[in-house]
Each structure stands twice: as structure tokens, then as C-alpha cells.
A and B are shown apart, each in its own frame.
Chain A
Amino acid sequence: MPDTSQPTTAPVRFARPGAIPFAIGVAAIAFLISSLQATEVSLGELARGGPQALRILGEMVPPSLDRLGPVCVSLLQTFQMAVAGTAIGCALSLPLAVLATRHLCPHPIVYHASRILIAVCRTVPDLVWALLFVAIVGLGPFAGVLAIVVDKIGFCGRFFAEAMEEADRRPQEALRALGATRPAVILGAVIPAATPGLINAALFSLEKATRSSVVLGLVGAGGIGIELQVSMDMFRYDEAVTIILAILVLVVAVEQASAWLRRRAL
């Protein structure tokens, strides 16, 4: 016998929205339109810039190798900033992440304070940190390293803590059961279990730091960014393209090396 309680027609494709969702939708669309107008987004302007773009592209070819030596030195300094900043940032992130892991932290106040510190480091963009540190320690790569360190504390602190939260709790219970102290449980069971997540976050943060260390130079925090800015300001597009290609090689090399290390380590 057929079940008469079952519906026989398909449900409507789109339900009529309620008044509040409808109003929110209209407001969102209106804000999008006003944003496009306020920021002067214009396909016409873009099309009018076409000849200028072609002229710049023409001046980029062939790339100038006149300053290849200083560019390579600056590129090395950029990578060194990324490596130093990431290493110090990761080292500082590890204990902070322990305190920001609910079941490992000795006190709720310390847990929340650690979470807030990580959130502040993560929320403020690295360029802003760089401006701040240039003001504090002056122009140069040290300001860039400090900016990367703070940025890494925000990035790695969060992902290290997540890796520790997700680490298998059963070995931790086993070590507690045999009389291990909290540091022993962390070193003996938490860190080994979280290692894939820690390595992943550290390598990804090195890739991110390499890209951001290029930009930090634009505000005077050392590295190749300042070289790029000077070339652009002097309309030396043939030099600029050399620098851009050098940056591309560095970023791709770091990404490839990072992917290889990740495959080896995990």
C-alpha cells in the first residue's frame, strides 16, 4: 500500500527569503556597487592604459644585467631575512603555542592571554609591523627580521597550537598515567604527535616570509624591495624586470624546496 504521508512533489527551487535576509542582501549589493564607484573601477581607464602598458613592457625587454651582482646580494639578504625571521618566530611560537593550547596550559588566564597575543600578532599586517620597527630600530634588514618574527608568532602560534590541540590524546594519557610531569608529556607525546603539523606550518611560514620580505624592503626594512622601488622610481624597467625575475626564481625555489622537505619529513 502506498505511503500517503510521503510528499509527491519536489520542493520549491528557491524559498522566498524573509524580510531581514532580503534587506541584508539588498544592502550588500548596494555596498558592492558603491565600492566599485568609489574606487573608480573602470574598464575604459584600463583600456586607455593599454599603450602605456605596452611601452613599459617594451622597455623591460631585454632585461638589464648591469646590476645583477648587487641584485643577487640583495636577494640573498632578502632570503636571509626570511630565514632568520622564520627561525626566531618559530622558536618563540612553540612555547607560546603550548600556552595557547587549552589542555596543556596551566591556567585559563595564561591561555586567554596567549591567544590574545597571537591574535594581535596575526591581525596587524606585516607591513605595519615593518613601519613600526623601522621607526624603532632604523632602516635596514633588522627591522624586516623583527617584522617577520612578529608575523610568524601570529601565524605559527595559531597553527602550532591547532596541531597540539589535534594531537592524539591517548599517548598523553599514557605518559600522565606513568607519572610524567607536564613538560615531559609535552616533549614526549605532544610534540612528536604534532610534528607533521608543526613542520607544515613552519615550511609554509618560510614561503610566506620569503614573499613578504620582498615587500618589506619597500618601507625601508631591508632586502630587495628597495632595489625594485629605486628601479621603478627611475623608470629603469629593464632593471626592474630583472629584479622581478630574480624574486620569482627565489620564491619558486623556496616553494619547491619546501614541498620536497615536506614530503621527506611527513
Chain B
Amino acid sequence: MTASPPLVDAVGLVKDLGGRRVVDDVGLVVAQGSCVALIGPNGAGKSTLLRLLVRLIEPDSGSIHLHGHDMRAASGAALRDLRRRTGFVFQQHNLVGRASVLTNVVHGALGRTGWWRACSHRLAPAALRDEAMDCLARVGLAAFAERRADRLSGGQSQRVAIARALMQRPGLLLADEPAASLDPAAGEDVMRAFRGLVDRDGLTVVFTSHHIAHARTYADRIVGLRAGRVAIDAATAACDPATVDALYA
């Protein structure tokens, strides 16, 4: 029996921004069905690394394979398809504020259907609308479908962003500090939702966080970055608290 290939296989990633090396020879391998926490102080390169993986920022060098495909060689429809299979949840949620919650979730299908069908829930076919309602129900917000996205609380907004990512039918979910702008209770809710997606649905999740407790509670593995380099890469259970503390020293 052969093990399934890693969903993320990045090697030697380098990125300079504003004359500073933000990501310096970073490698990241993520096995299918696992939950990985990226931790590190501000400016360590966590968010940049996530953006490099889906090429929202182009790397200066290194290789990236997502879902077994060479991300750097992909362009046009192939690149869009790899992005479609990789959900991305942003720290600021990045919803379309003036659109309804349901439209924001329907947007998750833009990568796999015609743009005229998924730009608004009003134009979407019934199957897409039903699927979007299912995604909203999975994050407990089906009752908010018609509300404008800019009228939601921070926690609700983040859960809509997760529902939009689920609408992509992704195998991999990247989340950039998903709990950073939320109060502690809402942050725990969101992190529990991510863990549930791993345990219940078999999704692979990579999230960045400043909350060491979140990393310890919800991740199987912790990768610590410092000054753009990998300083820690260990199973959560084997991760020494002193080593983690040293990351922020």
C-alpha cells in the first residue's frame, strides 16, 4: 500500500519584499488530512508563505506542488483550477461587503462554473443556491443568508468566509490568522470549525496563528517561522514549550 502524496510540497521558497528577505529557503510538506499550524512573531513570513503557496504573491525561487501539480508551471485555467481546489480564508475575511451572505458563499463556485452563474445568488442555478445554503448550514449561519455581509459580526463574517471556501469543494484549506480579529469565544468557535473539517470531512488545513494555545489544541503539527526561516517543525505533542517560547524571544 502506498501513502497518498502530500497536498502541499514546497521546497526552498524565497521571497524578497521591499528590499527585505521575508521568506528564506522555506520548505513545507503537508500530508493529506492533517492540520498544520504556522506560528511565529510578526514579520516572520507566515502570511507571505500562505500567499506564495497559491501564488497570490510570486516566489523569487523555489518549487511549489499543490495537489500533486506544479503550481509554478501552472497558468490560466490550470492555475485557476489549482486555486479552486485550495480554499483560502483571510484574516480580514475579505467578503464583498455590499453583497448578501448567500451571494458571498455562491462566489465560492466561481472557480468551477461560469462567472455569470456565480456572481450573484440571484443568477445562480438552484443547485448552486442549495449547495451554498448547505455550506452556510455547516457553519451555522443558514438563517443569515439574506443579510448584507457588512452587517455581520466579526465571528459571523469569518464563518461566512469559511462557508465560501467550502463552496469551492476544496481538498486543502489555508487560513491566515483566522481568529486574529475575533474575540476569544468567536475565535474558539472558528478554530473548532476548522478542526471539525479535518476530523469530519477529511480536509487538510494549514493555518497561521499568534495563539500558541490554538496551535497546541487544534493542530497535529506545528511549524514555527522566525525571520523568514523554519525554526520549528514538529508534531504538536512533541513540541517543547520552551522552544516555542524561544521563537518569540
Contact = CB atoms under 8 A, between A and B. Distances in A.
Interface stretch (B35-43, B90-98, B213-221): B90-98
A188 B107 contact: yes
B96 A184 contact: no
The bracket for how many chain B residues form the interface is: 20 to 34
B168 to A, nearest CB: 5
The bracket for how many chain A residues form the interface is: 20 to 34
B195 interface: no
Contact of B88 (A171, A177, A189, A193): A177
A193 B96 CA distance: 7
Nearest to A195: B98
A178 B110 contact: yes
Contacts of A170: 90, 92, 94
A173 interface: yes
Interface in B103-122: 107-108, 110-112, 115-116, 118-120
A193 B98 contact: yes
Given A171-B95, A193-B97, A183 B88 contact: no
B87 interface: yes
B115 A181 contact: yes
A176 interface: yes
A183 B80 CA distance: 13
Nearest to A194: B98
Contacts of A173: 56, 90, 94
Contact of A192 (B94, B96, B108): B96
Q: Which among B82, B87, B94 has the highest number of chain A CB atoms within 10 Å?
A: B94
A178 B83 contact: yes
Contact of B80 (A174, A180, A189, A195): A180
Contacts of B164: 174, 178
B94 A181 contact: no
Contact of A176 (B56, B97, B98): B56
Contacts of B99: 188, 192
Contact of A178 (B95, B96, B111): B111
A192 B98 contact: yes
Interface string A13-38: 00000000000000000000000000
A193 B90 CA distance: 18
A175 B107 contact: yes
A183 B110 CA distance: 10
Contacts of B80: 179-181
B115 A187 contact: yes
A30 B200 CA distance: 83
Given A178-B88, A178-B165, A188-B119, A171 B94 contact: yes
Q: Which among B97, B112, B116, B168 has the highest number of chain A CB atoms within 10 Å?
A: B97
Contacts of A187: 115-116, 119
23 contacts: A171-B94, A171-B95, A174-B161, A174-B164, A176-B56, A177-B54, A177-B56, A177-B88, A178-B88, A178-B111, A179-B81, A179-B83, A179-B111, A179-B112, A179-B168, A180-B110, A180-B111, A181-B115, A184-B118, A188-B115, A188-B120, A189-B96, A192-B96
Lowest 10 CB-CB distances: which A-B pairs, in order?
A179-B111, A179-B84, A184-B115, A174-B94, A180-B110, A179-B80, A179-B83, A177-B88, A170-B94, A187-B119
Interface of B: 54, 56, 79-84, 86-88, 90, 92, 94-99, 107-108, 110-112, 115-116, 118-120, 161, 164-165, 168
Interface of A: 168, 170-171, 173-181, 183-184, 187-189, 192-193, 195
